[in-house]
Amino acid sequence: MNKEIAQRRLNEVVQVDTVTNSTADFLATHVPFRQIKLKHGGGRSQEFEAISEENIWNSYVSSPGDRHQFIVVQGASGTGKSHLIRWLHTKFEAAKENLPDEAVMFIRRSDNSLKATIKQLLDLPETANLPNREIYERLAIVGHDINPQSLKDALYASLQGKVRADSRSGNTDLLTRNEKKKLYELLGNSDFQDNYIMQNSEHSPIERIYRRVAPGELPKGYNDELAHFQADDFKIDVDFLGRLEDDPKAFSFAEKLYDEPDELPQRTADYLNQFVESVIQDATHLQPGDFEGIFTEIRQELYRRGKKLTLLIEDITSFTGVNEALLNVLTDAHTGTAQIPGQERCRLSSIVGTTTEFYELFRDNFKDRISEEIYIEDTALTESDDSQALFELAARYLNAISLPDNVLMEWAGNGATADSLPVHERTEESYWPTYTMTSGQVGASVNPASA
C-alpha cells in the first residue's frame, strides 16, 4: 500500500453506492464473476454454457453491429445482476470514444418505483428534444396529485371492477365463473379488505402494488419485491372465517379458500395478478401507449443522426405498470415495418436484469424473442471458497486507493482490460502480504495463507 496516496484517495474509492464511483475506480475495484452461464434464446431453447463476463462484453454487448438484441440477465435476488449490468455500462463509458455511433442509455434501479424510473428516463440527454416531450412529462407525474390512501383505494376499486367484469364476460379461465362471482363478494367485504388486502402492513398486497407506483415508498431490502398477489394473501384462518358468517356471500368463497389451502389460494393469486398492470394504469391514469411512444421517437431521432442504441436496465420490475409496454419496446426490431420511409428506427440492443421469479412470469411470446439469456448463479462471485473473492476484493481496493486517479483513468481510457490493470509500487516496508488476482497481477492485501 502507498499510504501517502491512500490517505487522499480513500474517500473517492470506498463508496457505499458504487454508482457514485468514477468509471476508473469502479472498474479497478470490480471483482470478476466466476460463474456465469449463457444460452441462445429464451424459454426451453438450448442448454446453458459457462461464459466469462469479458466474453459477454466482447461477443455480445460492445459491438452487436446491426443485430437486434434482447438479452435477459436473470438470477435469484442478491446474486449481482445489477452489478453486472452496471459493469457493462461502465465498460461503455470507458470505451465511448471508440464507439461514436452508439448511444448508450442506462436506467438505474433507483428507488424502483415507476414514477422515479420514468423521470430518470426523461432526464437522459437522448430525450431532451423529443417532439412530444410534454406528453411524456405527464408520465413522470402519474398519480402525483393523489394522496397515498386515495391511490390505494383507487387500486383496490379498479381490481374489484376487473373481477366483476370478468365474472360476466368469462374472458379468463384460472377461476370458474361461479368462483369469480364469489371472489367479487369476498373482495367487497370490509373485514376482508382490512385484514387481508388493505391491512395496515407493508406486507399487504395493495401495499406491494402501491410501492411500485409511488417513489420513496420502498422499504430497505424490498428492491426485488414483486407487485403481485401471493398465495399467503388468501390463507384464511378459522377465527376469521367465523367472523364472516353474517355475510353469507363473502363467507362462501372464504370457506372454499379455507377448505382448499393447498390449491385455491395460489390459483386466486394467479388470477388477480392478470389484472395488476391494468389496475395500476387505471388508478394512475397512465397510458402505456405514451410510454412506448417515448422509445419510438428516441429510436427515430437516433436513426436520423446515424446512431444505434444500447439500452441497459438494472431491474425490469422498476417498470411495473408498463412492463408489457416495455417488453413490446425491447422486442421491436428495426426491420420490416420499421423500414417504411418516415418510420425508420435505429437498431436496439438491450440488456435487462430480472429475478428468476419475475422472468418466469414472462409470456411465452416474449421469451421466444429473447436473443440471449444470461444466468447468474448464487455462487457466481464466490465459487466454492468465499474467502478468495473477499481477498481479491480487499486487494483491488487497496491497490486502487494506492494509485493516483489519473493512472486508473488512463487505464480505463485504453479499454480497462483485466490483464492490464496497473499495480501500485509500495513505498513502505514490505510488511504488507501480497495476493495474486484472477487476472494475474499481484496486489497488496491479506495473505490467505496467513489469515
Contact present, 115 and 220 (Cβ < 8 Å)? no
Residue 131 lies in a domain: no
Q: Are residues 106 and 75 in the same domain?
A: yes
Residue 127 lies in a domain: no
Distance separating alpha carbons of residues 151 and 146, to the nearest angstrom:
6
Q: Are residues 41 and 90 in the same domain?
A: yes
Chosen domain end from 230, 261, 284: 284
Residue with cell 420490416: 336
- 181-207 burial: b if 16+ Cβ within 10 Å, else e: bbbbbbbebeebbebbbbbeeeebbbb
Give this prediction's pTM.
0.79
User: What percentage of the chain reaches a pLDDT higher than 70?
Assistant: 81
Tens digits of residue pLDDT in 79-135: 888 889 989 998 898 888 889 999 999 988 765 567 777 777 878 887 777 777 777
Distance separating alpha carbons of residues 159 and 279, to the nearest angstrom:
6
C-alpha grid cell for residue 5?
496516496
Distance separating alpha carbons of residues 308 and 172, to the nearest angstrom:
40
The whole-number average pLDDT for the span 21-27 is 76
Residue 143 lies in a domain: no
The whole-number average pLDDT for the span 16-44 is 75
Distance separating alpha carbons of residues 106 and 23, to the nearest angstrom:
14
Q: Are residues 312 and 258 in the same domain?
A: no
C-alpha grid cell for residue 231?
398465495
Residue 44 lies in a domain: yes
What is the DSSP annotation of 60-110? IIS--TT--EEEEEEESTTSSHHHHHHHHHHHHHHHGGG-TTEEEEEE--T
How many domains, the chain? 3
C-alpha grid cell for residue 80?
449481482
Distance separating alpha carbons of residues 411 and 431, to the nearest angstrom:
28
The whole-number average pLDDT for the span 33-49 is 83
Q: Are residues 199 and 229 in the same domain?
A: yes
Q: Are residues 152 and 280 in the same domain?
A: yes
Q: Are residues 308 and 423 in the same domain?
A: no
Q: Pseudo-torsion of CA 350, 351, 354, 356, nearest 10°? A: 110
Q: At 376, is the secondary structure helix, strand, or coil? A: strand
C-alpha grid cell for residue 376?
447468474
**Beta strands at 434-436 and 372-376: parallel, antiparallel or unpaired:** unpaired
Distance separating alpha carbons of residues 215 and 192, to the nearest angstrom:
27
Chosen domain end from 251, 284, 317: 284
Distance separating alpha carbons of residues 398 and 9, to the nearest angstrom:
10
Q: Are residues 97 and 10 in the same domain?
A: no
Q: Are residues 249 and 152 in the same domain?
A: yes
Domain enclosing residue 309, as ranges: 32-110+288-376
Residue 437 lies in a domain: yes
Residue 58 lies in a domain: yes
Average pLDDT score over the chain:
82
The helix (run of H) or strand (run of E) holding residue 321 is none
Chosen domain end from 264, 284, 304: 284
Residue 369 lies in a domain: yes
Q: Are residues 160 and 208 in the same domain?
A: yes
Q: What is the pLDDT of residue 307?
A: 92
Instruction: Say which range, 103-117, 204-218, 380-394, has the weakest mean pLDDT.
Output: 380-394
Q: Are residues 263 and 279 in the same domain?
A: yes
Distance separating alpha carbons of residues 238 and 242, to the nearest angstrom:
6
In this structure, what CATH number is given to the domain that contains residue 313?
3.40.50.300
Distance separating alpha carbons of residues 302 and 105, to the nearest angstrom:
12
Tell me the C-alpha to C-alpha distance, in Å, between residue 129 and each of 96, 106, 189, 311. Answer: 22, 18, 50, 18
Q: Are residues 247 and 336 in the same domain?
A: no
Residue 396, judged by CB atoms within 10 A of its CB (0-12, 13-18, 19+), counts as buried
Residue 294 lies in a domain: yes
Reported as a pLDDT band with limits 50, 70 and 90, residue 428 is low
Q: What is the pLDDT of residue 449?
A: 41
Tens digits of residue pLDDT in 258-317: 999 999 999 999 999 999 999 999 988 888 888 888 888 889 989 988 999 999 999 888
Question: First vs last Cα of the chain: how many Å apart?
Answer: 18
Q: Are residues 100 and 158 in the same domain?
A: no
Distance separating alpha carbons of residues 168 and 87, to the nearest angstrom:
50
